[in-house]
Structure 1
């Protein structure tokens, strides 16, 4: 059975989505998400309302409107790495402390899903909880768990906010 790579990244914005402190981030969501959707190897992204400039900010975690999530599926590790570390996405990732709180717990997880499967936010949050509770495993993992992942070793930033 062909497997694809799912990933969830969550963060808590420093301010509500309509606050000037997160305006630059919000103003670029459509551009960065659109770039991701056009990347070779992109399969699927959890979508929000479709309203311009909102990304998927309507999917509140724990009822908190400042918790935002990004849930995507990719054909393979290399495709996701190319998007994360090899495009303008990296510039926004490097500036994440300007818009997001530093979280005291895990905020990123990946796992394999059967091709064609579109994970729910609940499923993804369960994977994140599993990784936080048990560490990296075949069920839920970070970049260093994947031997195919190479770009994160030289391109990633120091650990910090979402």
Structure 2
């Protein structure tokens, strides 16, 4: 049986350590979104740092999820004071549960506010790929897949909701299973 890996990445307008209300609001909503996600059918797991310090992404111990990594186009800081990004890495049973989690509830509300927090980007901000049951994807896997998606478009190796693939590599799209856009925003 295969599981669906999901890596998301966005460049924030301000560093994670910024005490401004918008940064605190982003963190509050992000925490609530994950509390909602873990209750959803189809959710399996997500990368969590052992120490969980705000902004200490690059120094954190991520356990089986590996060393934290970011796409080559990220040009902001890597220290606690200067890191200005949000990234997630998670596992799902299939596309439909992931779609439902992303496009309903608190995450849908957060997507509606994305430009309050995130810079507009010319790169994709999420990517899916299939992994064998028991495999924990790493941050480097996610970055590699996102960069592949950016360079080559959707393929069984790295794909989006809109242009998705089954675990066997065949194109798939159920009616209503993906947004019209190639990017979750």
Q: Are 1:148 and 2:147 matched, yes or no?
A: no
Question: How many pairs align?
Answer: 156
TM-score, scaled relative to structure 1 = 0.84
SS in structure 1 opposite 2:9? strand
Pair 71,101 (structure 1): closer, same or farther in 2 beyond 3 Å = same
2:92 alignment counterpart: 74
| Counterpart contact for 1:127–1:139, Cα < 8 Å | yes
Pair 46,101 (structure 1): closer, same or farther in 2 beyond 3 Å = same
CA distance in 1, matches of 2:152, 2:94: 24
Residue 149 (structure 2) aligned to one of 127, 131, 135:
131
CA distance in 1, matches of 2:144, 2:123: 14
Greater Rg over alpha carbons, structure: 2
SS in structure 2 opposite 1:144? coil
SS in structure 1 opposite 2:136? coil
| Counterpart contact for 2:99–2:161, Cα < 8 Å | no
CA distance in 2, matches of 1:69, 1:33: 13
TM-score, scaled relative to structure 2 = 0.74
Gaps of 5+ in 1: none
Runs of 4 or more, structure 1, over 4 Å off, are none
The aligned runs of 1:113-124 (5 Å cut-off) are 113-124=131-142
Higher normalized helix content (fraction of residues)? 1
RMSD (Å), alpha carbons:
2.5
The aligned runs of 1:1-162 (5 Å cut-off) are 2-19=1-18, 20=20, 21-49=22-50, 51=52, 54=54, 58-59=57-58, 61=70, 64=78, 65-146=83-164, 147-148=173-174, 150-153=176-179
Per-residue Cα deviation, 1:16-53 (whole angstroms, up to 9, x for no partner): 1132132211122221111111111101101124548x
CA distance in 2, matches of 1:149, 1:15: 38
CA distance in 2, matches of 1:75, 1:125: 21
CA distance in 1, matches of 2:140, 2:8: 13
Per-residue Cα deviation, 1:84-129 (whole angstroms, up to 9, x for no partner): 1122210001110000111122221111111121100001100111
What is the Cα deviation at residue 159 of structure 1? 5.8
